Chain A
């Protein structure tokens, strides 16, 4: 009864999309680092090179986004629903925490805030949401 090719194609598709997403994310992180630190360390604030680095970062970011959508479509429907619910949870958590974090300097709890810290909130919220939602559905 078992058709091994079907399961293999599902798993193979997911493996391929995961690897593509990994490469795209790595390229985006690398291009972000170049865009951020390149002006001071690599090209002495040459404006045209900086614009080029920004454009490259934007294009690689869009490629990463496209890879993520391909990754979602390679999943089976329960995996996809779990990830979409995790995205919704992440949006809510990030919104609430970002508002609090943004109000801290005004309340004189912190001197200044780093917008990039929001990325960590997004990352941790997403990972925790996926794990929690997946375990809720798959645990005995």
Chain B
């Protein structure tokens, strides 16, 4: 699954650690999501969407798209 997490995070001038703190996950988890090595659970995806103020589909897209 692809995502725009890195770009959106950079837009807000947040570090991976900043984002991890707000989501109560480790920095490694944020790094793995950004690199597409780990797909977050639905609750975490909703948390991310709420944090960035946009729908989930604006953050994540299937690999083929």
Contact = CB atoms under 8 A, between A and B. Distances in A.
Interface of A: 1-4, 6-7, 9-10, 76-79, 81, 136-138, 140
B59 to A, nearest CB: 17
Given A77-B44, A138-B32, A10 B25 contact: yes
Interface string B20-49: 111011101101100101101100100000
Nearest to A81: B38
Contacts, number: 51
A94 B30 CA distance: 32
A76 B22 contact: no
Contacts of A4: 21
A3 B22 contact: yes
28 contacts: A1-B12, A1-B13, A1-B14, A1-B18, A2-B18, A2-B21, A3-B21, A3-B22, A4-B21, A6-B21, A7-B17, A9-B24, A10-B24, A10-B26, A76-B24, A76-B25, A76-B26, A77-B25, A77-B41, A77-B44, A78-B25, A78-B28, A78-B29, A78-B32, A79-B29, A136-B37, A137-B38, A140-B35
A140 B15 CA distance: 17
Contacts of B22: 1, 3, 6
Given A77-B25, A77-B44, A78-B25, A7 B20 contact: yes
A48 to B, nearest CB: 49
Nearest to A77: B41
Given A7-B20, A77-B44, 10 more contacts: A1-B12, A1-B22, A2-B15, A9-B24, A10-B26, A77-B40, A78-B25, A78-B38, A79-B29, A137-B28
